[in-house]
Amino acid sequence: MSYQILQEGVFFKENSLKVKVMLRDPEIPYPLHSHDFYELVVVVSGRGKHLTETGEHPIGEGSVLFIRPGILHGYDKIDNLRLYNILLGTEVFSRDISDLSEMPGFKTFFLQPEDNIPMCKLTSYQLTETIFLLREIKAESERLDFGKGSSAMAYAKILQLVIKIARTQNPKPKTSVRTTAARLEPIMGFIEQNLNRSLTLEELVSVANMSASTLNRQFKAYTGWSPVEFHIHRRIAYACSLILKREMSIEELSEATGFSDANYFSRQFRAHMDMSPKQYKKLWTGPRS
């Protein structure tokens, strides 16, 4: 059976960086096909089945796939599937970049056997960061004015994207890390159950059954945040989900996530998401190109 082969020349301009970012909104069923370039797929929302020669695999919000040249793949059983296709010419992805190839996560995800299509899952926070980065890559790669550094900037941001994805591929944790995770599991559960209000350090210490200094030290080593900071971060993530699911004012969002007032909520949202709640909503629901 013959399959369609998509060619570089159809998608990339001559004498320019061979990069193209396309938002498929919505994606449509697409039979098995291949291409002579690399493709990185980031699923924004919805769900569907990703087709390969060996079968079909479920994909949904936050799924990331990496397809090498010559690999057959497609999409089927789609339900409101929206995704970004990042097309990369072969020479773009084959450059030798410092210690990139030495990253365990890069090897795990981007250097798998030739006939395999690696897939990983981003958290809602990681997905938001990725979408913001993809929009910047798209804007830079589509600039027509020469001499403004757009190609270099687009390439730099592609490397940033690749590294971010590679860093999500954590190697098997050491025993000490697994032990810390087990000790912190009760406090993590307590935090997730209380995203609609603020928590004091005293409450967290009581649930964790350890001293404040020990809790802070272990929590920061495991998550990069103090327990109180992490709780705020999770409440902001909860606010993000509310923004997309409901029509709520800033005041309503602030109340639903337990912040003292709308201004404080907005400041915390910007500090964690690097954008306002209004910008976040527009990022996901605004006009699509």
What are the CA-CA distances from residue 199 to residues 118, 242, 248, 272 (Å)?
Answer: 39, 20, 23, 18
Strand pairing report for 63-67 and 4-6 = unpaired
pLDDT tier, 151 (very low <50, low <70, confident <90, very high otherwise): confident
pLDDT at 202: 93
pLDDT at 205: 92
Q: DSSP string covering 173-203, please?
A: PPHHHHHHHHHHHHHHHHHHTTTTS---HHH
User: Which H or E run includes 126?
Assistant: helix 124-141
pLDDT at 194: 94
pLDDT at 11: 85
Res. 287: pLDDT tops 60: no
CATH 2.40.30.10 fits 175-285, yes or no: no
pLDDT, greater one: 48 or 106: 48
pLDDT tier, 214 (very low <50, low <70, confident <90, very high otherwise): very high
Reported as a single tens digit per residue, the pLDDT across 84-103 is 999 998 877 666 666 777 77
pLDDT at 238: 87
The domain segmentation of the chain, as residue ranges, is 4-167, 175-285
Q: DSSP string covering 44-98, please?
A: EEEEEEEEETTEEEEEETTEEEEE-TT--EEEEEEEEEEEEEEEE-HHHHTS--T
Tokens 């990022």 locate to 283
Alpha-carbon span 253 to 119, nearest angstrom: 33
pLDDT tier, 10 (very low <50, low <70, confident <90, very high otherwise): confident
Reported as a single tens digit per residue, the pLDDT across 122-148 is 877 688 788 888 988 988 888 766 677
Task: Answer for the pair 259, 198: CB distance below 8 angstroms, yes or no.
Answer: yes
CATH number of 4-167: 2.60.120.280
Q: Judge if the upstream peptide bond of residue 113 is cis by omega within 30 degrees of 0.
A: no
Alpha carbon distance, N-terminus to C-terminus of the chain: 35
